Amino acid sequence: MIIRQARIVDPEQNTAFAVPAIVLSVIVFAYSVNFGPLSVLAFYACWLAPFVMAPRILLGRPGSALLLLTVPFFFALSVLWSDAPGTTLRGAIQYGITFFAGLVAARIISAGNLALGGTIGGLLVLAYSAASGGYSYDYIDGDFAFNGAFSSKNQLGYFATLAILFSAALVWMFRSRRAVQALAVLTAGVGIVMLWMSDSATSLLSAFAAFAAIAFMGVVLTLAPWLRRAVVFLVLTGSVAIAFVSLRLGAFDALLAAFGRDSSLTGRTYLWSQAIEFGAEKPVLGIGYNAFWTHGRPAAEMLWEEFYITARTGFHFHNLLIETYVGTGLVGLALVATLCLLLFVLPLGAALGQGGVGSLMLMSGLSVLFLVRSVAEVDFITPHTVGTFLVAFVLLRLFDHNRQVRHAAHQARPMRQPRHPSLGRWSGITT
């Protein structure tokens, strides 16, 4: 049977491929440890095959994709100075493929199909956790909570948040058919229950922030273009002022108390201080990507023991930038901080443009979700994770959108005759 290329790479025609591909990816991101290497190979094949079939997906407009690939390239380059080169090389290759897959998906998957695939995948992930999971003691947060089939309650809360977000997109942003909306409502309900049972403060706060960003984007895109800049400026400055005053009045401590946390963030500040000390030993380039948490390293063994990580794996410094600093130093820190800055700036730039309301609302929600989570998690600097895949997807999608808007605006500008027609050519474009 011959499959037309458009059925795979054309966002307008590839729903039959796109939705199962996203479902598979979400399941692999959640449970690759449970299902083994074959599931990871299936994920690789799923996203590398479209690129092999049609390299123009990325090579046709390579600029922004190459810019984003700077981060995985530098992580791979760190093998040259890593004190655990084997671990660094393996991790960097896996991270690079995951990130690359997100870039491929950004060019061939519509936002609606992403939401549908994320909803179905999220429901399956949560259903599996509900059926086979249980409660465990979290030594970081200091309490018992339902963690499903994950090793951490925060991971369960993370996937529950994504399931709710994608489900809401189907109902609220893309106005799907009734059968799909019914599925979305079911998934959102399961997600809310799982999010509540996980008792993950990070997941709850990031969910609230994501939906606030979605609502903000939805309102801004309804305004006239001339009014958007003023609204965005006022909201940003007002938010900064409110945050500053709230901190001075002790609102942060009150928020922590509401979630049953203390000012040490239940051990995270200690982890951060230790990480900064370790990172200061090789501050410029770090010790190598993914090289810190290796068996036999005294500092890692000490922290595993202090936090009762008996498996001696799956642990991190619970902060995206600090984890990056330890592994790849100030250079890697600058690159990953740039990704964070883009997650903030690109949605704002899109808000001032035209078109794609539903898509921009979803991309904005995901951007803010990962920005908020970066304070306490390391979602998009690790391989085989939904964060790495989605951040690559969101950033390239927003780059492409903003580029198209600028191009359309350029084409729409009327041409004017030069003051000296005898020159025989156009002299410029009016603003």
This prediction has a pTM of 0.91
Neighbours of 177 (CB within 10 A): 9
At 294, the amino acid letter reads T
- Write down the mean pLDDT value for the chain: 88
Work out the pLDDT band at 427, boundaries 50, 70, 90. very low
Work out the pLDDT band at 417, boundaries 50, 70, 90. very low
Mean pLDDT of all residues in 130-156: 79
CA distances (Å), 313 to each of 269, 310, 366, 402, in order?
20, 8, 28, 40
Q: CA–CA separation, 157 vs 143, rounded Å?
A: 15
- How does pLDDT run across 296-307, given as a tens digit for each residue? 999 999 998 888
- How does pLDDT run across 305-356, given as a tens digit for each residue? 888 888 888 889 999 999 999 999 999 999 999 999 999 999 998 888 766 6
Work out the pLDDT band at 138, boundaries 50, 70, 90. low
Q: CA–CA separation, 396 vs 391, rounded Å?
A: 8
- How does pLDDT run across 264-301, given as a tens digit for each residue? 566 788 899 999 999 999 999 999 999 999 999 999 99
Domain contains 217: yes
Domain contains 295: yes
Domain contains 328: yes
Domain contains 43: no
Question: DSSP label at 1?
Answer: -
Q: CA–CA separation, 353 vs 406, rounded Å?
A: 8
Q: Is the pLDDT of residue 225 over 90?
A: no
Q: Which of 97, 78, 68 is nearest to 324 (CA)?
A: 78
Domain contains 358: yes
Q: CA–CA separation, 89 vs 72, rounded Å?
A: 11
Q: Across the strands, what pairs with 250? A: none
Count of the separate structural domains present in the chain: 1
Domain hosting 282: range is 200-406
What's the pLDDT score for residue 30? 95
Domain contains 273: yes
At 187, the amino acid letter reads T
CA distances (Å), 63 to each of 228, 350, 352, in order?
28, 18, 22
Domain contains 57: no
Domain contains 189: no
